[in-house]
Structure 1
Amino acid sequence: MTTPPPEPKRISAEVPDWSREYKHWLTWDPGRSLLASIRAYQRLNGSKWLIVRWLRRVVVFRHRFWSAVAGADIPLNTQIAGGLLMPHPNGIVVHPQSRIGPNCLLFQQVTLAGVCVLEGHVDIGAGAKIIGPVTIGKHARIGANAVVIQDIPRDSTAAGVPARVIRQTDKTTEQQLSWLHR
């Protein structure tokens, strides 16, 4: 009897992969540069030291520069966990009270309007709009140009206007099917 293969490696929804945010020296990457300026501001925020307050102003200027270059509107106070990827940050708009979980992926023209919660490893396609107090579950995928107005459960794919769950993936079923087709 053949034993099933080990579970394929999945991107974690709990542990941030900081290497996804790493910016190589002297490379042009507006998304990672914008994210680096947000992270720098959040590290410096709250300190009363004079030099730190001056550095914070420099970081705010840097954030404004990269926001203009990237064409993105991501407030400095947004709660963003580690591992966020924005390959094409053009037109990304995020509400200040939205929370983005670890290892998420946002493509161009994504809008998070209202208090949105993206749990871990959520992939959002180009042009998708997430409106209102909505929670997107772990390992969920939102299709391009979808308009999400209700909660999306974990391990599911949603698409359309308004977005509906078009596929719910059961992890054990996915493992069994991948084993059978080998």
Structure 2
Amino acid sequence: MRSIRRYQAAQKHRGLVGAILSKYWVLSHRFWSTITQCEIHLNTQIEGGLRLTHPTGIIIHPDAKIGPNCMIFHQVTLAGPVVLGGHVDIGAGAKLLGPLTVGDDARIGANAVVTQNVPAGVTVAGIPARPIGPSEE
């Protein structure tokens, strides 16, 4: 996450310093992507507070947008233009196949395959993902 944030900040600087810093953060990003086997594009829109508790095997499409304070576990795939609201929790191995939107405070169960929009505050699980239990408010 650090290399992504620093790369995006360096891109805003013009001139030689911005170019050198951008290249440094690209190399840092490639190193950590190899170590963790993650694919998170450098220009992905990620708001503050993202938690990657076990950052292994996470794949996030460049057109995905991640809201504030989301938590993504290992082996999660966000394929296509997936939009996550705030405080979304995604369980291990879940696949979100966009285009789709996940509302605020939603929860995606482990190994769920989400192909449709998820309303705010709803928990979904299964293949294909369906709402389970009442929403907690």
Tell me the TM-score range normalised by the shorter chain. Answer: over 0.9
CA positional deviation for 1:165: 0.7
Determine helix, strand or coil for the equivalent of 1:135. Answer: strand
Aligned match for 1:49, one of 6, 11, 15? 15
Contact 1:155 1:168 in 2 (8 A): no
Does structure 1 residue 159 correspond to structure 2 residue 121? Answer: no
Partner residue, 1:116: 82
Query: Distance in 2 between the 1:170 and 1:56 partners?
Result: 43
Aligned match for 1:58, one of 13, 24, 41? 24
Higher strand share: 2
Query: Distance in 2 between the 1:69 and 1:88 partners?
Result: 12
Query: Distance in 1 between the 2:136 and 2:22 partners?
Result: 46
CA positional deviation for 1:58: 0.5
CA positional deviation for 1:170: 4.9
Aligned match for 1:140, one of 106, 117, 137? 106
Aligned match for 1:107, one of 59, 73, 84? 73
Bigger-Rg structure (1/2): 1
Contact 2:12 2:18 in 1 (8 A): no
Partner residue, 1:19: none
Aligned match for 1:71, one of 28, 37, 46? 37
TM-score w.r.t. the length of structure 1 is: 0.74
Count of residues paired in the alignment: 137
TM-score w.r.t. the length of structure 2 is: 0.97
Determine helix, strand or coil for the equivalent of 2:133. Answer: strand
Aligned match for 2:46, one of 48, 58, 80? 80
Identity %: 54
| One-letter amino acid matched to 1:165 | P
Runs of 4+ in 1 over 3 A off after TM superposition: none
